Structure 1
Amino acid sequence: MFNKIIKRSHRKSAKSEFSEISADRHRPAEVIVNHASRTATNPSTPKSDAHNISSPAAAPLPISGVIEMLPPLREVAVPEQPNLFLRKIKMCCVLCDFSSTLKMIREKEIKRQALYEIVDIIQSGWFKFSELMQEELIRMVSVNIFRCLPPASHESRGTGSADPEEDDTYLDPSWPHLQIVYEILLRYIVSSETDTRVAKRYVDHIFVLKLIDLFDSEDPREREYLKAILHRIYGKFMVHRPFIRKAINNIFYRFIFETERYNGIAELLEILGSIINGFALPMKEEHKLFLVRALVPLHKTKSIATYHQQLSYCITQFVEKDYRLADPVIKGLLKYWPVVNCQKEVLFLGELEEVLEATMSAEFQSCMVPLFRQIGRCLNSPNFQVAERALYLWNNEHIVNLIAQNRKVILPVIIEALEKNMKGHWNQAVHGLTANVWKMFMEMDGELFEECHMRCLEKAARAAELEEQRELTWKKLEAVAAQAVRDGMVLVN
């Protein structure tokens, strides 16, 4: 009798704890941010929603309970299936210890089987979910995936900064369960049975914010699932679209101007590439500001190689949708052009070619002088890859047409760099490509080319004359100093 009373009281306490947590998830004053090794505040919170967050972020508390073997849903009577389904969901809220493969072996397998059964039920649409089922399902997902991420690899090594490309790939030991939980969430979002009007009560702004925060996970498998899920949420829940864009925007700001460390930038840019592709025309001012203030400054970071392909795609999508954006994009590239990083320069030149392909004559004319001054510096780069990539711009027919239309301005800017390469670049391939460009300009406008070439030679002659005069002046000074020493004069500084 005593044991029955104890068990009953335990069930009541667990039930009351559960009801308190369920009620709390609707309070906008408590937002969960999941980085134990990062700052306590959530950088991805849009300013417009900052007033909704008053308490420090914390991970959800693990649910205390017992993982027990429950019968399969298909083996029980139909009226009992909803209650059994809820029991399975509550059981899956219990977190297993993955610190050792020898711990909780039986419990891990029972929970794994229960999670797979939930996946099968959602996919098959076996029975329609009630609101309570959906709430419990999202709560179970939240308990499992919203957790404190382990310290970043560079932090655990005690180094302030590191190259992300050199870091060892981290694989979360709890992935056997996490993967199935992510699969449950993905199938719930994409299911045709999921009513958006009901689901948005549980997949709310707080849930989405915590989901975006998980993109900093070092496990690439988790980031792939997050990318698919967030993309589906953006497509299905129109009410969340501005919020998601603002949250991603703020992550970029913090990455660019504060940390320069974030694991999920490439995945977030992949999502944005699809979003930008769907922008309606004429483009909103909000989207143009996002391009100028967030996307273009992403070129300044040292780790751009890890996400440049996705970034370049986003930038090109903007220019293809509105060719007038080519001018601020090209000027932004010139602003953040690398000085000593040759690999980064090659990436910039490749992106520049893609942008110029979508550039019209008016926008090209507004930035062509500083643009070709920079291209001229690239032509004379001692790194042959940079010089070669810059010369490949003349293989693009659209760019050649733009240059031909504005040759009277561009040729005087670029001719010195071509002359310098022709006289003595160490790389034979660069020398040969320069000769091709030289010939192209001669065929384009022979008279203009000869005129510019003569000016270039005259300028070089004047420079040589000035250098000779400078050397003569120094020689005279040296002779005066030597005479003073011979005469025993004391020179006062």
Structure 2
Amino acid sequence: MVERREQETTELGERIFMDCRLDNISTSSPSAKRNPPSAIFPSNVVVGIVPLVAFKDVPDHEKEKLLIAKLNHCCFIFDFSDPDKNSVEKDIKRQILIHIVDYVSTETFRFTESAIATCCRMFMENLYRTFPPRYRTAKTNGRENEEDPPVYDPAWWHLQIVYELLIKFVSSTSLDETIANKYLDHIFISRLLELFDSEDPREKDCLKIVVQKIYTKIVSLRPYICKSINNILYTFPFEKQKHNGITELLEVFGTVISGFEPPLKEEHKVFLCRTLIPLHKPKNLGSYHLELTYCLTQFLEKEPKLSSTLINGLLKYWPVTNSQKEVMFLSELEEILETASAVEFQKIIFPMFRRIALCLNSFHYQVAERALLLWNNAHIVRLIAENRWVILPLVFPALERNIREHWNRLVLNATQNVMKTFTEMDEELFLACQSKFEEDRKLQETMEEKHRMTWENLESAASVSKLCV
């Protein structure tokens, strides 16, 4: 199959090559104006090597020159906005890219420094580009970038094979780290990470693989990769709030966090507090919430005592006008509490259960129901039972108001189950809270009646004064 592909491309290339030669012959007189070099054969190819020749047709000592010629040939970029423009040339480039991938996949192939340098140049020429304005559409509705139809890059016909070659390049056992460092430098990495802003999901999937391979293979680049991703994630919630690759960047960083060794370094904790936790702020949290939660739980696995820090961060960015985000926050809160120790739990009881009480009384039934589901978690119920003297007085008024006022039957049933759980925990405390609630309710009614009478007296006095005037 590969040989047939090479043969077809070679025949097509030979025809075009002969056409180019005839053009040059017809204009070779001194008075004739020379045509510009053909796009098929850019001037930067290796002299004497025709890039359309198949690898099997040249001796072994010429194969590296042929590889470099093919790579140089593929540095020419075509315009894919018009599918009919340069269609033959585009097909030739694609076939040459396929030949290169097939060649570097052979067991005997080894990357030399010349091949590494030319490969990196070809990657930069093809991949590094500025996305058109349509790629910069603002995502104003918080749920949901995943609901938007994906935008596919028309140049993927070539880009796909370039990415395939890049993955093989960074995965190759013959790639010497010392030599690769000269070409896979900070500029290369920075430009590579910028490509995560692409809207094409296929490209971002390839980028994830490439960055993870580079991070694993080239140890010296790890600090810079982490720093660069950190910079993108850090600026996102405060400056841009528009980026198409936050999900994928968090996936990459999730694998990085999983490799951290406890105890965590101070710089890792700073990254958690200053970069990851503020990612709860943007409206489009739903598009990357699962990946963000995974990163946070990875931190908790390494150092469980960070649970109070995470919960305080959640409370800081808690959404008060976005019910869908509130449901996500409650789900994340449950995951964090599952790993919380009794000591860490006690640190955040008051602010956390004040917020939970507000969620219990939410008229958005999904928020109220999700808050009530916390009592279905055995570990959380155990922590609540150990601190019931503090927690029950905080949430009892909200539970009682649900019983009396909430409109949703599911919420009513779940509230009754929670009340039953508290009764079984400590009936005496439950009755005391119930008595206190009734006292407060009667006091509130008395105060409201007093305020009503005061206003009636003021209105009457104002009417009398008006008549006297």
Tell whether the 8 Å contact from 2:51 to 2:69 is kept in structure 1 after alignment: no
Structure 2 match to 1:460: 441
Q: What is the CA–CA distance in structure 2 between the aligned matches of 1:398 and 1:413, rounded to whole Å?
A: 20
Tell whether the 8 Å contact from 1:154 to 1:161 is kept in structure 2 after alignment: no
Tell whether the 8 Å contact from 1:323 to 1:359 is kept in structure 2 after alignment: yes
Alpha-carbon shift at residue 4 of structure 1 (Å): 10
User: Is residue 104 from structure 1 mapped to residue 116 from structure 2 by the alignment?
Assistant: no
Q: What is the CA–CA distance in structure 1 between the aligned matches of 2:29 and 2:315, rounded to whole Å?
A: 76
Matches within 5 A, 1:34-183: 70-153=52-135, 155=137, 165=145, 167-183=148-164
Matches within 5 A, 1:209-358: 209-358=190-339
Unaligned 5+ segments in structure 2 are 1-24
Give secondary structure in 2 for the equivalent of 1:359: coil
Structure 1 match to 2:184: 203
Alpha-carbon displacement from aligned partner over 1:72-95 (angstroms, at most 9, x marks no partner) = 101222222111111111111111
Q: What is the CA–CA distance in structure 1 between the aligned matches of 2:290 and 2:449, rounded to whole Å?
A: 49
User: Is residue 370 from structure 1 mapped to residue 351 from structure 2 by the alignment?
Assistant: yes
Unaligned 5+ segments in structure 1 are 19-62
Tell whether the 8 Å contact from 1:394 to 1:400 is kept in structure 2 after alignment: yes
Aligned in 2, Cα 1:69/1:238: closer, same or farther, shift over 3 Å?
closer
Q: TM-score w.r.t. structure 1 length?
A: 0.84
Q: What is the CA–CA distance in structure 1 between the aligned matches of 2:296 and 2:112, rounded to whole Å?
A: 43
Alpha-carbon displacement from aligned partner over 1:455-483 (angstroms, at most 9, x marks no partner) = 11111111111001000111111111222
Q: What is the CA–CA distance in structure 2 between the aligned matches of 1:189 and 1:363, rounded to whole Å?
A: 43
Structure 2 match to 1:437: 418
Q: Residue type matched to 1:234 in 2?
A: Y
Aligned in 2, Cα 1:129/1:280: closer, same or farther, shift over 3 Å?
same
Aligned in 2, Cα 1:202/1:153: closer, same or farther, shift over 3 Å?
closer
Structure 2 match to 1:409: 390
Q: TM-score w.r.t. structure 2 length?
A: 0.88
Q: What is the CA–CA distance in structure 2 between the aligned matches of 1:215 and 1:454, rounded to whole Å?
A: 59
Alpha-carbon displacement from aligned partner over 1:353-393 (angstroms, at most 9, x marks no partner) = 00000100111100011100000000000000000000000
User: Is residue 477 from structure 1 mapped to residue 458 from structure 2 by the alignment?
Assistant: yes
Structure 2 match to 1:397: 378
Give secondary structure in 1 for the equivalent of 2:440: helix
Q: What is the CA–CA distance in structure 2 between the aligned matches of 1:97 and 1:219, rounded to whole Å?
A: 17
Q: What is the CA–CA distance in structure 1 between the aligned matches of 2:149 and 2:399, rounded to whole Å?
A: 44
Aligned in 2, Cα 1:434/1:331: closer, same or farther, shift over 3 Å?
same
Alpha-carbon shift at residue 126 of structure 1 (Å): 3.4
Give secondary structure in 2 for the equivalent of 1:240: helix
User: What is the percentage of aligned positions where both structures have the same residue?
Assistant: 46
Aligned in 2, Cα 1:162/1:448: closer, same or farther, shift over 3 Å?
closer
Alpha-carbon shift at residue 120 of structure 1 (Å): 1.2
Give secondary structure in 2 for the equivalent of 1:421: helix
Structure 1 match to 2:360: 379
Count residues in correspondence.
436
Structure 1 match to 2:4: none
Alpha-carbon shift at residue 201 of structure 1 (Å): 1.4
Alpha-carbon displacement from aligned partner over 1:91-123 (angstroms, at most 9, x marks no partner) = 111111212111111111111111111111222
Q: What is the CA–CA distance in structure 1 between the aligned matches of 2:67 and 2:29, rounded to whole Å?
A: 25
Q: Residue type matched to 2:271 in 1?
A: F
Give secondary structure in 1 for the equivalent of 2:348: helix
Q: What is the CA–CA distance in structure 2 between the aligned matches of 1:167 and 1:427, rounded to whole Å?
A: 32
Structure 1 match to 2:8: none
Q: Residue type matched to 2:185 in 1?
A: D
Over the aligned positions, Cα root-mean-square deviation in angstroms equals 2.5
Aligned in 2, Cα 1:162/1:152: closer, same or farther, shift over 3 Å?
farther
Structure 2 match to 1:21: none
Alpha-carbon displacement from aligned partner over 1:158-203 (angstroms, at most 9, x marks no partner) = x795666264421111001001001100111111221222212111
Alpha-carbon displacement from aligned partner over 1:220-262 (angstroms, at most 9, x marks no partner) = 1111111111111111111111111111111112211111000
Q: Residue type matched to 1:126 in 2?
A: T
